[in-house]
Amino acid sequence: MAASRSVPLYVGRILSPSGVPQGTCFQLAPGYLVTAWHVVQATLALGDDEVLRVDRLSDPGAGRITARVAAEDRRADLALLKADACFPESARLLRGARTVKQSEPVTVVGHALIQEAGDRPPVVWVEALGEWQGEASRADGVVLGRFYSRDILSGMSGAPVRQRNDDSVVGVVSARYNTSDGWLVHSVWASRVDELRSLCEGHVDLGGSQWVGFTAAGAATAVAESLLRKPGTDPGGEIRVETARASDQDRTEALPPQASSGGAVDTTPTGTGGAVSDAITEEVTQSVLERAARWFLDSL
């Protein structure tokens, strides 16, 4: 089956012991997968060996691997799995939820449970577009991300919620809000990447540059990037960043992956499809970045 650019190579499916898909997952770092805790809980209840079976969403049924739970956060509905093999790619950028603009376009690709009539072959995956709406707080203190999408389906729990402009992961699908009164129709709850970052501590060593918007330096840079994007930018260009003088650690936190101070950044998204630009042309000068960072830090 031909691969689709809409399906990132780091997205997979959680399978029952008999091979029936139960939900979606994605690779955070080589050998480490993330999914929703309720998917893990329901799947483990189907077997007695505490082992999960996983395959790639882009190549269902092939290259199955096994994984076990490394860490869990039941309140935030998150699980970190340690697999015995790796997907070809990992999520390249993870972004703090509070640095995502409201109405920012997001996309979710995941396993889809659809009841088709007749003898049509079953649908394997669906791409659902949406808009980020912000956050919501539950009575137990858990803060959730919320986005709007009409097309989130059963089976997509555990899928990464990705910004369409840079393919950064901003959340993990937890549940669709099935309204009974018409309020908040088409709302979807997402576990925030912020909680995922805490879940990984002590289990998986991720480079600081993979996380954006969690420290003051990272958040300021994310805001600066947002403020300095110009409409009508040539999608075939590159991003050139000149950072203000800071410690090596701060510069590492502030720069996206594969970047160095004053250099070009490879921002080609993986699996975003033809609807997303491959790159954004922008030049951030030292003085502008400093002003944006100061403005953001003063507003905290």
**For the segment 219-261, what is each residue's pLDDT rounded down to a tens digit?**
455 445 445 444 444 433 333 333 333 334 444 444 444 443 3
User: Which of the four pLDDT bands, split at 50, 70 and 90, describes residue 215?
Assistant: low
Over residues 12-28, mean pLDDT: 95
Higher pLDDT, 282 or 61: 61
pLDDT band, very low/low/confident/very high, at 294 (cuts 50, 70, 90): low
- Nearest 5°: phi and psi at 222? -60, -40
Across the range 87-106, mean pLDDT stands at: 92
Give residue 272's pLDDT: 35
What pLDDT sits at residue 132?
Answer: 96
Using CA atoms, how far apart are residues 14 and 22, in angstroms rounded to an integer? 6
Residue 65 has pLDDT above 80, yes or no: yes
Quick one: tokens of 96?
Answer: 């703090």
**Mean pLDDT throughout 39-53?**
93
Question: For residue 198, what pLDDT is reported?
Answer: 86
- String of b and e for 58-68 (b: at least 16 CB within 10 Å)? bebeeeebebe
Give the pLDDT band of residue 181 (cuts 50, 70, 90). Answer: confident
3-state secondary structure 154-189: CCCCCCEEEECCCCCEEEEEEEECCCCCCCCCCEEE
State the pTM of this model.
Answer: 0.70
Instruction: Give the chain's mean pLDDT.
Output: 77
pLDDT confidence of residue 273: 35
Range name among 106-110, 210-214, 244-248, 256-260 with the lowest pLDDT average: 244-248
37-52: average pLDDT: 94
* Domains of the chain and any CATH numbers: 11-83 (2.40.10.10), 94-200 (2.40.10.10), 208-299 (no CATH)
Residue 262: band (very low, low, confident or very high) from pLDDT cuts 50, 70, 90? very low
pLDDT tens track for 116-150: 667 788 888 999 999 999 999 999 999 999 999 99
pLDDT at residue number 115? 72
Residue 224 is predicted with a pLDDT of: 53
What CA dihedral angle connects 58, 63, 69 and 70, to 10 degrees? -90
DSSP states along 93-133: -EE-GGGSPTT-EEEEEEE------TTPPPP-EEEEEEEEE
Give pLDDT, residue 32: 96
